[in-house]
Amino acid sequence: MKHLIDSKYVRLAVVIVLGGLAGFLFTAFHLAPPQDRSITITAHKYAYDPPVLQVNRGDRIHLHLVAQDVTHGFYLEGYNLEAKMRPENDTFWVRHPSQGGDFEEVDEVSFVASRPGKFRYRCSITCGYMHPFMQGELIVRPNHLFSTSVGLSMGLLLGMLLVFRPSSQGVKK
C-alpha cells in the first residue's frame, strides 16, 4: 500500500490536479478578470456600428447610444434593455421593459454581462423601409471552459517536468 502511494504515478496525478487547479485559478482570475468596458453604439439607417460586440462574461458594460440620422431604437434581447436615441442628442432614453417603467433620460446605461451567449439587438422604432433588418449582436463569451483547459494543460506540463525529469531518478528519501 505504501509503495502505491509513493509511486511516481500517484505523485504525477497529484501534481497534475494541483497544477490544473493553479492554472485554472490563474487564468480565471488573472488572465480574464472582469473589465469595465465603455462602448458606444452608433445607429444609422439601417445598421448599428459596431454590428457585433464581443465581451467576456462578468464584464461591466457602460453603454452609450447615439443616433446619426433619424430617431432609432435599441432593444437588447436577454438583458431586458430598451432605448431610443435622437440625432444631435448626447443623452438617450432607457427603460427596462419587464419592469414596466417609463423611459428615463440618461447619458450612459451600465449592466453586467452576466449571461453568456449571443443576444441580438435591434431597432425598436420604425425608421424606414429597411427598419426590420436593422440589428446587431452582443456575444458574451464564457471563459470557464477556456480556463479549465488551459489549467489542465499547465498541470500536465508541470507534472511531466516535475515527475519525469531525469535527475529525479533514484533520489527518493
Q: CB 30 → Cu ion: shortest distance, Å?
A: 42
Q: CB 130 → Cu ion: shortest distance, Å?
A: 8
Sign, CA torsion 127/128/129/135: negative
Binding interface with Cu ion (CB under 5 A): 72, 123, 127, 131, 134
Geometric angle at alpha carbon 29, from 23 and 31, rounded to 5° = 75
Which C-beta is closer to Cu ion: that of 74 or that of 79? Answer: 74
Contact indicator for 93, 106 with CB cutoff of 8 Å: yes
Which C-beta is closer to Cu ion: that of 24 or that of 121? Answer: 121
Q: CB 18 → Cu ion: shortest distance, Å?
A: 54
Distance CA 119, CA 101 (A): 22
Which C-beta is closer to Cu ion: that of 64 or that of 72? Answer: 72
